[in-house]
Structure 1
Amino acid sequence: MRRIAVFNQKGGVGKTTSVLNLAAAMLSQKQSPLLIDMDPQCHLTEILSDGLPSSQRSLFGFYQNNTPLDELTTPWNDAGLLIPGHRELVKVDSIFGKGPTILNRLRSGLDALEKKINLDCILLDCCPYLGVLSLNAVFAADLIIVPIASDFLSLQGAQKVEKTLKALENVLKRRVPRRYLLTCYDRRRSMTFEVEKLARQYFAHELCQTVISENVAVAESPQVKQDIFHYSPQAKGAHDYMALLQELSKIELSEELDPAVHVDLTKRSSISS
């Protein structure tokens, strides 16, 4: 079973959208995903449920009361499972600190969950800042996806994520495989292609070949509480996320990936638009 964390320290890059639609792509292929909303903003939970549960019936209950994760699951779309988030998750950092026990809490919880529920994949929708929750996801994941909206600031944010992941290698005693994903890919803007070129130089083979095109249907679907495959299955966004699923399925997670050749993006003064 794969555990995929979707994380970027910058918001608005398509993190929750990618979790939602990757899971929907899996469902369309008869796979069984579990989504975990680790963001106190709870956007994923609001899309997939009728309202926020009590804090004790959310992921916060796992951290506060050590409630087993399998007792917190709720169905969505009659096939997948969701562990909902709650705004109380914002308190996790201040309540529990950052010791090794709390940083490995989610990994231990998922180990126990996998013994009780048969799943093909666990998707972790991380909060857009580096704290206990995001570190829990990184420590638990065997693959990290970093969405990059096709603009210069998002690319800088992804560079910071890479530096963070490299700094954690001594703690984790391993190099977590990761893929960087271009989202909001607008072929009408020259900046899109400049960002793609720089990302290819910086991340090399760890940049996904698949891009998620700027697509109205993808942006509209969360408003009606649907993924792209239910809202508009023929849209470009649906084809993009299915292609992404197929690309990710070919990654050998036991492979030790070679570091990419890096370019210092902070030295560039501007990008043409």
Structure 2
Amino acid sequence: MTVIAVFNMKGGVGKTTVAANLAAAIAKNGVEPLLIDLDPQAHLTSMYGIKTNSSKSVYRFYQGLSSLSDLVVPLDTGIQFVPSHLELGKVDAQVTRHRDNIWRLKLGLNAEMLSGSGLPIIIDCTPMLGVVAFSALFAADIILVPVAAEYLALNGAMQLSQTLFGLEKFQSRKPRRYVVNRYVPNQITAETVAGQLMRHFPGEVLKTRIREQEALAAAVGSGSNIFDFAPASNAAADFTFLLDELIENNLISLSRDLPFGAD
């Protein structure tokens, strides 16, 4: 499986941080992942210091005026990145094109032979439940759900589960994995939330915990990933373990045979 949608309807759970650093962990292994910013807030695009107009963003793809490949910005870290723009929010308002846009990402990834290339594709989804979010979920092979180690985030995970259940009317159930983020070891709330997640979603909660660390926030503030900013930190170790666990569970594979853009 190669297409991972990082999704949660609740904001502030560290979705963008997880997407960015998981992509960085993959790139650190010599593989060029494709990372797509599918959030109109464009936090990931801003983090990388990319200032672009809507015509050079993923919004252009949803307008049907560009391929994904033509929008790719190669980053120094080895990540192939498709930026977002505030205009992407207009897609959810285009009622007459909802059907086309819901399937556009999946069809585009297939048509450009990206989803079958063996290269990991990570989508940083919008938390707004609409056409753009649904298009990412339909395109994904696996749904990765970051859950902050707090009670409100747990409620959000339960609501999200009901939403994903509703999607099964249109597609068969896709693998999903919950990753506990902003975890403080031995803190009562954090341990309680992690325990309840495992009870509610048996077999779907990853063993890896992303610990709460200042280094992660500082890395984002500097426009960097944790491996470049603090390679010896616990946070870097956590994201290394996260990637290892996904690989060991056959949820992602790292292929070095087809670098992005190769013939």
Aligned residue number for residue 17 of structure 1 = 17
Distance 1:80 1:119 in 2: 15
1:160 Cα offset (Å):
1.1
Instruction: Note if 1:198 corresponds to 2:196.
Output: yes
Equivalences for 1:44-193 in 2 at 5 Å? 44-51=44-51, 53-96=52-95, 99-114=98-113, 120-172=119-171, 174-187=172-185, 189-193=187-191
Deviation, structure 1 residue 114: 2.4
Structure 1 runs not aligned, ≥5 long: 255-273
In the alignment, does 2:18 pair up with 1:7? no
Are residues 171 and 116 of structure 1, via their aligned partners in 2, closer, same or farther at CA, if it must alter by over 3 Å?
closer
1:225 counterpart residue number: 223
Q: 1:30 is matched by which residue type in structure 2?
A: G
Distance 1:182 1:26 in 2: 20
Residues 6, 124 of structure 1: 8 Å contact kept:
yes
Distance in structure 1 (CA, Å) of the matches to 2:138 and 2:115 = 21
CA 1:212–1:75: 2 relative to 1, 3 Å: same
Partner amino acid, structure 2, of 1:181? V
Instruction: Give the AA of the match of 2:53.
Output: S
Equivalent residue for 2:257? none
The letter of the residue matching 1:43 is H
Identity, % of aligned positions:
39
Over residues 9-31 of structure 1, what are the superposed CA-to-partner deviations in whole Å (9 max), with x where a residue is unaligned? 00010100001000100011111
Compared with structure 1, are the counterparts of its residues 98 and 129 closer, same or farther at alpha carbon in structure 2 (3 Å cutoff)?
A: farther
For 1:188 and 1:116, how far apart are their aligned partners in 2?
A: 40
Q: How does 1:215-254 map to 2 (within 5 A)?
A: 215-252=213-250
> What TM-score does the superposition give when structure 1 sets the normalisation length?
0.88
Q: Which moved more, 1:117-126 or 1:133-142?
A: 117-126
How many residues end up aligned between the 2 structures? 252
8 Å Cα contact 1:7-1:15 kept in structure 2: yes
The root-mean-square deviation of aligned C-alpha atoms, in Å, is 1.9
* Aligned partner letter, 1:11: G
Q: Which amino acid aligns with 1:17?
A: T
Residue 84 of structure 1 aligns with an amino acid whose one-letter code is: P
* 1:258 counterpart residue number: none
Relative contact order, higher structure (CA 8 A, sep 6+): 2
Q: 8-17 or 64-73, which moves further after superposition?
A: 64-73
Normalised TM-score (structure 2)? 0.91
Whether the 8 Å contact between 2:98 and 2:131 is mirrored in structure 1 is: no
> Structure 1 residue 96: deviation in Å?
4.3
Which range moved further: 225-234 or 102-111? Answer: 102-111
Q: Distance in 2 between matches of 1:238 and 1:245?
A: 11
Distance in 2 (CA, whole Å) between partners of 1:97 and 1:146 is 30
Separation (CA, whole Å) in 1 of partners of 2:182 and 2:226 = 15
Cα deviation digits, residues 137-187 of structure 1 (max 9, x gap): 000000000000000110111111111111111211x11100001000012
